[in-house]
Structure 1
């Protein structure tokens, strides 16, 4: 089984990423991994931290001569800001006078429930791990999953469809999403320049008032054949696994699969994707659909259309104009603590969600097709494609 885990704190010495279960022989490009990390750092509305960090993955194990060798892949991502925090967050007890305690919890963050759970009188330890900085390690893991999937002709990308009240208002093609992800300059990763300009105005408004703004990103999986995931057990459904994966990201408060939100208020005749048959079809099978309202999944199984997953990202919890809170020490009303933060992270959220989706899809692909090497996996994968094409 493909598994991954991360470790590290936002202002600690390093983030750690570990991926196990990748077959041997998967090509791994340092340039590709680092570009994925770069993409996560981009976007209009990012804060000062992104001017400090230049994320790059230091691969310690599991890759030799440019390919995976079947053993766990271990990576570290150094935090450049550590030099300013090594006396604030030392491993040893250190000097208490230099510790930077967070004495009033921030509404919307993990500060208060985490402090209650772990019996802390200082939210510093909670926010350091709860921070979305952790998602950089997920992106590094996701790059490994993407490297596997693209060997099978499966690609994962994302784009922003709403910031605040401004939205794209139309569907995007896979070609548009891929082109947007390939850009060397990223504003808000929207495929339409006019809509992106309107989104930028939402960020500007939040910036002027010391506020933050959320939005919606869309992740697209292109090239996934039908038959990945299953209906037979509740915890093996593709839609459920993708929803959990994306919902696990910091600040994501809702997940939509296909046209799930609008489907709830529509008639069935306008929602379900009619099926047709073309004996000479050029898709995975000779069956086809004119629409993709289902988002590439039916009954918990991929159906051969592009898989569409949307994440609804709340505004960042840390505000330059803090909300009311309570002092841990005195229990008196105070303003919430302020930590350097962003104004808008919707494009970055999309990149982190790509990683989670890619890791989920890669795990299910390995589970279905098996193989200890990429050659064995591709042979099984190609045989299955021939089988469904001949159906």
Structure 2
């Protein structure tokens, strides 16, 4: 089974990422890995931390001569900001007078719940691990999963469909998403320039008023064959696994598969994707893999039916709440005195929807890669590819 874990705090010395279960022989491109980390740091509305950190993954184990060797891959991502916090958050006992307390919990953050849970006198240690800085380690793990999937022709990308009250208002083609993700300058990662300009206006309004703003990102898996995932057990369904994976990201408060939200208010005749069959040898217009001649005019199901991929693009949307650290803080209570005060302020962003989309790509890629390995097996990439090719041929001949 493909598994991953992360360790590290927002202002600690480094983040740690560990991935096990990758087959041997997967090419690992350091430039591609670091570009994924760079993409996570981009976006209009990011804060000062992004001007400090220049994330790069340092691979310690599991990769030799540019390929995985079947052993766990361990990586570190150094926190440049650590030099400013080394005496404030030392590993040893240090000087307690230099501790920088988070003296009043921020509404919407893990501060109060975490302090109560762990019996901390303030929320500093809660903030350090609950911070979305942790998602950088997930992106590093996800980059490896994307490299594996890419060897099978399975691609993962994201784009922003809404910021505040402004939205794209149409479906995006895979080619548009891929082109947006390939840009060397990323603002809000929207595939439509006019819609992106309107979204930028929403961020500007929040910035002027000392507020923050959320939105919706969409992750698309392109080139996945039908039959991955299962309906057999509740905890093995692809839709459930994807929902958990994306919901686990900081600030994500809802997850949608396909057109799940609008489907709830619609008639079945307008929601379900009618099935047809193509005669002849027609090839897909975008040059993607052609697994089966069973087709659908629409993809309201988001590429998943009964917990199983159906050959269409898998489409997952994440609904991101506004960042909970505000430059104009909300009402709170002092941990020490229990008196009314303003919530603590830590350096923060105004909008992180594009960055959250990149982190969600990582979580989706890790989930899909796990299911692909579960289904097709193989201790080496060559064995996995043979098994995968044999299954795809079975599907084509169905």
TM-score normalised to the size of structure 1? 1.00
* Deviation string, structure 1 residues 260-292 (Cα, Å, up to 9, x no partner): 001001110000000011233543112111100
- 1:117-196 matches, within 5 Å, as 117-196=117-196
SS class of match (1:310): strand
Which residue of the partner structure matches residue 55 of structure 1? Answer: 55
Task: State the distance in 2 between where 1:358 and 1:187 align.
Answer: 23
Name which of 299, 312, 321 aligns with 1:305. Answer: 312
Confirm or deny that 1:88 pairs with 2:88: yes
Which residue of the partner structure matches residue 101 of structure 2? Answer: 101
TM-score normalised to the size of structure 2? 0.98
Task: State the distance in 1 between where 2:268 and 2:185 align.
Answer: 42
Which residue of the partner structure matches residue 335 of structure 2? Answer: 328
SS class of match (1:87): coil
* Deviation string, structure 1 residues 348-378 (Cα, Å, up to 9, x no partner): 0000000000000000000000000000000
Task: State the distance in 1 between where 2:352 and 2:334 align.
Answer: 28
Task: State the distance in 2 between where 1:279 and 1:73 align.
Answer: 46
Question: 1:89, CA displacement in angstroms?
Answer: 0.4
Task: State the distance in 2 between where 1:182 and 1:369 align.
Answer: 30
Confirm or deny that 1:388 pairs with 2:391: no
Confirm or deny that 1:204 pairs with 2:204: yes
Task: State the distance in 2 between where 1:71 and 1:125 align.
Answer: 32
- Unmatched 5+ residue regions in structure 2? 284-289
Which residue of the partner structure matches residue 290 of structure 1? Answer: 297
SS class of match (1:240): helix
- 1:251-266 matches, within 5 Å, as 251-266=251-266
SS class of match (1:348): helix
Q: Once superposed, which parts of structure 1, at least 4 consecutive aligned residues long, lie more than 2 Å away?
A: 279-283
Which residue of the partner structure matches residue 377 of structure 2? Answer: 370
Confirm or deny that 1:71 pairs with 2:78: no
* Deviation string, structure 1 residues 161-213 (Cα, Å, up to 9, x no partner): 00000000000000000000000000100000000000000000000000000
RMSD (Å) for aligned C-alpha atoms: 0.5
